[in-house]
Amino acid sequence: MAEIVYPPVIKAALGLFKALNLKFRLEGTENIPSTGGAVLVSNHVSYLDFIFAGLATHPAGRLVRFMAKKEIFDNRIAGPLMRGMHHIPVDRQAGASSYKAALTALKGGEIIGVFAEATISRSFTVKEIKSGAVRMAVAADVPLVPITIWGPQRLWTKGRKKRLFQRGVPVTILVGEPMYPKRGDDYDKATEELQARMAELLERAQREYPEIPKADETWWQPAYLGGSAPTPEEAAELDAQEAAERQAAREARAAREVEESGS
């Protein structure tokens, strides 16, 4: 597979990180397999997570093909880049094709990146995850590698203005030990273990983070550490409200299209 787009994108990102003096803590990279397929499962705290999650594989000389929502690929700027880097679009209304594409890539020796929480966690804790990542790893007979990211929410996250050029922000990336789920395992239990490992890694990253928020910046700290981010329960209510609003918008748009087609 020709890599025309990915290398220069990585080079540009690393140059920007250096210019912004981002302070990286990257641990556990020895857990990334040097060859063969793997499912890389990351938590989700910002719109930039795919960039930082991809950094976890660089010491091993690997690239990650991320599964990302189709809307990103429809964007006139991001779309060509995503396709050029051979990421995989996910249409939530028809997920079979993206699942098949991911399996093909895994069996071909690629690392597939998954944000199993599906959406950004407003509480900055690990949300409930589905068993899809486990099932994918089993189907392709590849390891499952949990990672967690902490810090990028300060640059750009849901409900907050972009602060992409903020300098000196610490970014923590922790890679956990691989899991090897097999056919016949209880996939729900394996998923619970995956979520627990991710939660443990994230809590360590948060507790060991080198900075604490200023009085007017507590929004980026989880509630259990004294921050003003929503609790998991409050975040779930916000997510449900947002989902309902999106559904209503889709229904209204469909109704308008029907009305216009009949006029």
Answer yes or no: do 152 and 224 share one domain: yes
Structural domain includes residue 1: no
Whether the predicted pLDDT of 214 surpasses 70: yes
Same-domain check for residues 239 and 179: no
Q: Which domain holds residue 242?
A: 231-263
Residue 160 and residue 248 in one domain: no
Does one domain contain both 68 and 100?
yes
144 forms beta bridges with 39, 179
pLDDT at 191 (0 to 100): 98
What's the CATH code of the domain at 214?
Answer: 3.40.1130.10
User: Which pLDDT does position 95 carry in this prediction?
Assistant: 74
Neighbours of 141 (CB within 10 A): 14
Q: What share of the chain in percent tops pLDDT 70? A: 99
Q: Are 101 and 90 in contact (CB under 8 A)?
A: no
DSSP state of 230: P
* 190 within domain boundaries: yes
Give yes or no: residues 256 and 218 share one domain: no
Q: What is the mean pLDDT of the chain?
A: 95
251-262 pLDDT per residue, tens = 999 899 888 887
Tell me: do 210 and 263 sit in the same domain.
no
- For 178-199, what is the mean pLDDT? 97
- Helix-strand-coil split of the chain, %, nearest 5: 45, 15, 40
- Whether residue 85 is found in the same domain as residue 209: yes
Three-class SS of 70-118: HHHHHCCCHHHHHHHCCCEEECCCCCHHHHHHHHHHHHCCCEEEECCCC
Residue 62, pLDDT above cutoff 70: yes
Q: How confident is the model at residue 91, as a pLDDT? A: 86
Q: How many domains does the chain have?
A: 2
pLDDT tens per residue across span 82-112: 999 999 999 877 778 999 999 999 999 999 9
Report CA Rg, the chain: 19
